[in-house]
Amino acid sequence: MLANEVTIQDLPEFLEDEFDNETNSEELESEVQPIIDDSGKDRKLFTHPYDFIIRSLKDQVDDGTLVLADDFQRRRVWDDTKASRLIESLLINVPIPVCYFAELEDGSYSVIDGQQRLTAIYRYLNDKFKLRSLKIRSDLNKKKFSQLGISDRRSIQSRSIRCILIQKESHPEIRFDVFDRLNSNSVKLNRQELRNSLYKGNLNRLIKELSEDKTFKKLRRSENVDKRMNDCEMILRFFAFYFDRANYQGNLAKFLDNYLQSGMKMSSEVVHNHREIFLKTITDVDCVFGENSFRRYDPINDTWNKSLNRAIYDIVMLYFSAISSDTIQQKNNAILDEFKKIFNDEGFQEDITYFPEKIVRFQSRLDKWRTTLQEIGISVERIIIGMAHEST
């Protein structure tokens, strides 16, 4: 078929969108957050454009130069119908949107925008599905790549895709700003998904492993990992505040970025320590709260909120990590009763709702929780976050 016979209505759009009709498996309470302005800093972006032919992209995926998808990103792969439409578009020379890569510290590239397009192409070149529902090249329906004629195979392999590389010399914050602006017409990668792409390494692997833990899933009231990696961010959040809380300055996103980056080459011994303290702590939390963990309690109606509250998560995890398991098990009922009472405190309610990332709010709710624990005979050293004397 000639190119001028193709109508606009026939041409598909290939934004990273259609897989995102899924709902998340867990609900997180929204938080009122402060605006942090870093605009005065010297921030530079370094980019380089490439026109990669598809054969070259496949080779780079095979040799590890291009990191196409990890286990979490594979959960959001296009179905075979949409993937087939993309292959058809390559064959009839429909322009493919630009892909964006981030250069990692080892010189490899991680796909930031274009994950689904490139994954669909790579899967097809490896005979992972048969074409289906094609309208223009309907003669190719039910055919794998190896079953195409030599001309069509060469046509696909020789197509080029414009790719923009965000180089590693770019300022870390402006890299996130750029990634955040991508896919403005579809569901963008959130901050944790970007971290997962940029800071692959030992700590990131541990966090994804722990997100599969059955007890942690129970506390989240979910049988599955979270498709948008909110569960992974919760684990990272605990590790950062447990091991590095003195360096917290009120910018949570940047704080978590830095901690995950610092753990890329974490030693096996330190990884083990991280795993052990997390598993110990969530086991103790389960002993007291079970499926009501990290949720608000309504003392008037004697009910629990169904949504997770990250501010509650922080204080419960941090103090439970500092208390022996034996003590928590012996006083589990008393701890639960006192936890319910704290929701009669209007100040505590404000601390977990309004600007909870601010150090003064964080420290206030930590101190209130410590006082509550002390009232039932649990002695624990005060946990101090960053510059706890920060003023409101």
Look at residue 32 and tell me whether its pLDDT is greater than 60: no
Interatomic CA distance for residues 247 and 261, integer angstroms: 15
Cα–Cα distance, 287 to 364 (Å, whole number): 25
Question: Is the pLDDT reported for residue 18 higher than 70?
Answer: no
Q: What is residue 323's predicted lDDT score, i.e. its pLDDT? A: 98
Cα 153 to chain center, whole Å? 36
Q: Is the pLDDT of residue 365 over 80?
A: yes
115 band by pLDDT with thresholds 50, 70 and 90 = confident
* pLDDT digits 0-9 by tens, 138-193: 999 999 999 999 999 999 999 999 999 999 888 877 777 777 676 544 556 788 98
Q: How far apart are CA 326 and CA 23, in angstroms?
A: 39
Interstrand relation of 297-298 and 303-304 (parallel, antiparallel or unpaired): antiparallel
| Amino acid of residue 389 | H
pLDDT in tens, 265-278: 999 999 999 999 99
Query: Quick one: pLDDT band at residue 247, thresholds 50, 70, 90?
Result: very high
To the nearest whole number, what is the mean pLDDT of the chain? 86
How far apart are alpha carbons 243 and 250 in whole angstroms? 16
Three-state secondary structure along 227-256? CCCHHHHHHHHHHHHHHHHHHCCCCHHHHH
pLDDT of residue 178: 75
pLDDT tens readout for residues 52-101: 999 999 999 999 999 886 555 545 568 899 999 999 999 999 988 899 99
> Is residue 46's pLDDT more than 70?
yes
| Whether residue 15 has pLDDT greater than 90 | no
